[in-house]
């Protein structure tokens, strides 16, 4: 790590990715401080890790600082942030945390996981597979992995596993030897002009992979053949010279993609991983074949439900197998994996004391915020717990996303019996009147599922009001899935804290 003994100040340290890099920098011997707009569980965790963290932005934070490290969300929210302007005026170098992470990766065999959906779960599974195989990787991930007790891990081998985000072209700062692409569809409308611009960003990332170093692992692209967007990317990479490893779940190839996985084979060196004999009701299990031959003789069970999590497991499995982890190790890791924070995380199961009542409920926290991810999460919940009334509590994330995907949101909750929608989480945006949650609720109420099917959609307003509404409508036997990428998790804390 090139910035050892530097004084680094992290602005926006409450974010998951930047907080991981800050902790890695601290453990590498740097002097680290941080600040954020508001307190959160992450800022408290940073303070407990020994970092001075201030709430709010102020130029005084820059005293004796060698480098200002920031989250792109900070400049997106306010490009004239006084702390940032002061650093520029004083000639203090300013870098994003992704740029710093790219520095930390120098001299490593990098394995990056990118894609619109499933990055966190896939990255965690791949990292754990390599740990269990004795390959001792360094890891950076955008969520806490329970086995690590953190969102990062410092290893001592040449391997570096990271979650690579497409927003702001953040993943362009990484040059992986192996890249996993889990899925591609239009996302981040506040940054990408259209789907073509998003595809171009992924193509640029793949073409920037490490093709030069002398690693035992050849340059490798692990790609989801069940994602139409991934196949669009592959067509753009027709002259890319690296090795292709494809994976897919039998009978679930998406519209607009290839008719079967073998149709994307470009040369004799392509390796195909396929999940088959898939079971989704009650428990989730599947078998895997590699180039037509069983990986192991038995089916493997996955603790996380849903076809999307089978895809995530298959992606990690294909990458780990390619790196050299044994089939037995991979299967054991898959079966022991209970997920990462806020990815179908069961926060409560059983008796809950609320409003002087004792209710038998299950409460699940999930990060889903794109309509595709919401629908997949709720469908998985429905199949996993078919007898329970399903309440979907969702906090829309950003005005631009809510407006752009408005039509898709209207049917994203069709697996739910009750949809409770809170006010929009602004994140790095400002409310300009583009769209309001009431608009979404009113439009959802006119959809067949809610108008004719007996389901109910409710407006929750702010988070405290939303928590109050949830407490009022909860009844014994309910399954509650609380979703969003903002601060909606505080509703879970509130509900459980009042019990």
pLDDT of amino acid 119? 95
pLDDT of amino acid 258? 42
Dist. CA 189–CA 194, nearest whole Å: 7
pLDDT of amino acid 1? 41
Of the candidates 342, 344, 338, the one whose C-alpha atom is nearest the C-alpha of residue 383 is 344
pLDDT string in tens for the chain (499-residue length) = 444 568 999 999 988 889 999 999 998 889 999 999 888 888 998 898 889 999 988 889 999 899 999 988 887 777 788 899 999 999 999 999 999 999 999 999 999 999 999 999 999 999 999 999 999 999 999 899 999 999 999 999 999 999 999 999 999 999 999 999 999 999 999 999 999 999 999 999 999 999 999 999 999 999 999 999 999 999 999 999 999 999 999 875 443 344 444 444 444 446 799 999 999 988 899 999 999 999 999 999 999 999 999 999 999 999 999 999 999 999 999 999 999 988 999 999 999 998 889 999 999 999 999 999 999 999 999 999 999 999 999 999 999 999 999 999 999 999 999 999 999 999 888 899 999 999 999 999 999 999 987 899 999 999 999 999 999 999 999 999 999 999 999 999 889 886 5
Dist. CA 137–CA 248, nearest whole Å: 26
pLDDT of amino acid 255? 37
pLDDT of amino acid 253? 46
223 Cβ contact partners less than 8 Å away, ≥ 6 residues apart: 180, 181, 230, 233, 234, 244, 245, 246, 247, 264
pLDDT of amino acid 77? 75
pLDDT of amino acid 250? 87
Collapsed DSSP state (helix, strand, coil) of residue 35: strand
Collapsed DSSP state (helix, strand, coil) of residue 281: coil
230 Cβ contact partners less than 8 Å away, ≥ 6 residues apart: 115, 181, 183, 184, 223, 224, 257
pLDDT of amino acid 252? 57
pLDDT of amino acid 498? 60
pLDDT of amino acid 72? 85
Burial class (CB in 10 A: 0-12, 13-18, 19+), 41: middle
User: What is the residue-wise DSSP string for 325-351?
Assistant: --HHHHHHHHHH----TTSSEEEEEEE
Domains of the chain: 7-95 (3.40.50.720), 105-336 (3.40.1190.10), 345-497 (3.90.190.20)
Dist. CA 417–CA 429, nearest whole Å: 31
Q: How many helices (DSSP H) and strands (DSSP E) are in the chain?
A: 17, 22
User: What is the residue-wise DSSP string for 419-460?
Assistant: EEEEPPB-TT----SS--HHHHHHHHHTSHHHHTSS-EEEEE
């Amino acid at each position: 790590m090139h910035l050892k003994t530097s004084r680094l100040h992290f602005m926006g340290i409450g974010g998951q990715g930047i907080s991981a890099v800050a902790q890695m920098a601290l453990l590498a011997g740097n002097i680290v401080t941080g600040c954020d707009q508001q307190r959160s569980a992450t800022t408290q965790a940073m303070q407990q890790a020994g970092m001075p963290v201030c709430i709010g932005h102020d130029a005084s934070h820059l005293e004796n600082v060698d480098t200002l490290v920031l989250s792109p969300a900070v400049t997106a929210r306010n490009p004239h942030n006084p702390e940032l302007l002061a650093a520029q005026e004083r000639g203090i170098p300013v870098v994003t945390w992704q740029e710093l992470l790219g520095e930390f990766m120098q001299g490593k065999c990098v394995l990056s996981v990118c894609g619109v959906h499933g990055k966190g779960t896939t990255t965690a599974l791949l990292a754990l597979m390599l740990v269990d195989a004795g390959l001792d990787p360094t890891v950076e991930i955008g969520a806490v992995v329970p086995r690590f007790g953190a969102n990062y891990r410092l290893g001592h081998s040449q391997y570096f596993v990271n979650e690579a985000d497409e927003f702001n072209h953040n993943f362009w700062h990484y040059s992986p030897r192996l890249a996993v692409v889990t899925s591609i569809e239009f996302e981040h409308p506040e940054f990408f002009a259209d789907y073509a611009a998003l595809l171009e960003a992924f193509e640029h990332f793949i073409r920037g992979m490490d093709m030069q170093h002398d690693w035992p692992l050849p340059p490798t692209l692990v790609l989801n053949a069940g994602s139409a967007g991934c196949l669009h990317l592959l067509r753009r990479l027709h002259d890319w010279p690296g090795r292709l490893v494809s994976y897919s779940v039998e009978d679930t190839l998406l519209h607009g993609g290839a008719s079967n996985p073998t149709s994307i084979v470009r040369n004799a060196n392509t390796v195909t991983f396929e999940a088959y004999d898939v079971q989704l009701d009650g428990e989730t299990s599947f078998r895997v074949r590699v180039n037509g031959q069983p990986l192991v003789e038995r089916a493997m069970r996955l603790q996380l439900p849903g076809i999307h999590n089978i895809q995530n497991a298959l992606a990690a499995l294909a990458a780990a197998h390619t790196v050299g982890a044994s089939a037995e190790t991979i299967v054991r890791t898959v079966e022991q994996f209970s997920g990462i924070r806020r990815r179908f995380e069961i926060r409560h199961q059983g008796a809950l004391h609320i409003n002087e009542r004792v209710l038998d409920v299950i409460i699940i926290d999930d990060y889903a915020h794109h309509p595709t991810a919401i629908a997949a999460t709720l469908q998985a919940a429905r199949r996993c717990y078919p007898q329970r009334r399903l309440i979907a509590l969702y906090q829309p994330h950003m005005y631009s996303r809510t407006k752009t995907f408005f039509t898709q949101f209207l049917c994203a909750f069709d697996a739910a019996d009750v949809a409770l929608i809170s006010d929009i989480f602004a994140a790095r945006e400002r409310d300009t009147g583009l769209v309001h949650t009431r608009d979404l609720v009113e439009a959802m109420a006119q959809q067949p599922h809610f108008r004719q099917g007996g389901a109910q959609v409710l407006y929750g307003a702010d988070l405290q009001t939303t928590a109050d509404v949830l407490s009022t409508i909860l009844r014994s036997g309910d399954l509650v899935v609380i979703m969003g990428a903002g601060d909606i998790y505080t509703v879970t804390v509130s509900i459980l804290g009042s019990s």
